[in-house]
Amino acid sequence: MRLPCLLALATLCGSITLSPAWAGDPAPSAPPAPQPETPSAEPAPPPETPPAETPTIADLAPRSPRQRLCESGDGAACRSLADAFSAAGDYLTAMSYLDRACTLSDSQGCADAASAYLTGNYHGTDCTDLEPCLLIDLDLDKGFTFAQKSCAEQNALGCYLKGFAYENGLGTTQSHLTAVAVWRQNCKKRADGHSCVEMGMDPPMPRLPKEKKPGK
């Protein structure tokens, strides 16, 4: 009886398939992905200081007496510098000195600047052989303002240009009557030839000193 029983037990055992030890258990989760290491915060480097600018030869060049006078507030010296730069063809620098001259209440500087801004030509420059003849960028508002300031300081050219601006509506409202009034007064009071020509009048003759009678 034992032998058939053992054979039957062996047959039964042989038909059983053993499962792995983890069968029926939850599947193991995937190992966590490695996290990238966060670099430690480092202080930002200080901003680079730009190198100091090397002074140019122009910065180191000595100032002329005329430049020093202009910088110290002499309007006539500024106007003289403007004429020098204009003669050299540097009209941009010339106008900067004329602007300064007018700021310093040099009436002739104001008049010359007004002429340049209203006409585009530097006062006193022969424009015959120059193409184009506009040497200065027009600035009608500035030109009229400078003409008014020059005329208020009793400058004959400034008053003529003030009338010229009114006559042509340059930087102000056009008014023939105002232009005539300005020119008439300028012709009689300051003997300005340009204003007198506009009025069709001869400039008044200068008064001659009276001759002394003999014995007096």
Distance (Å, rounded) from C-alpha 192 to C-alpha 86?
Answer: 25
Residues whose CB falls within 8 Å of the CB of residue 190, separated by 6 or more in sequence, listed in order: 154, 156, 159
pLDDT in tens, 82-138: 999 988 889 899 999 999 999 999 999 999 999 999 988 887 666 666 555 677 889
Ranges of each domain in the chain: 65-199
Dmax over CA atoms of the chain, in Å, equals 191
As a CATH number, domain 65-199 is 1.25.40.10
Distance (Å, rounded) from C-alpha 167 to C-alpha 178?
Answer: 8
Q: Is the peptide bond before 50 cis (omega within 30 degrees of 0)?
A: no
Report mean pLDDT in 10-residue bins for the chain, 216 residues: 44 42 39 54 61 45 82 94 90 93 95 93 68 78 96 95 96 96 93 90 67 61
* pLDDT at residue number 63: 77
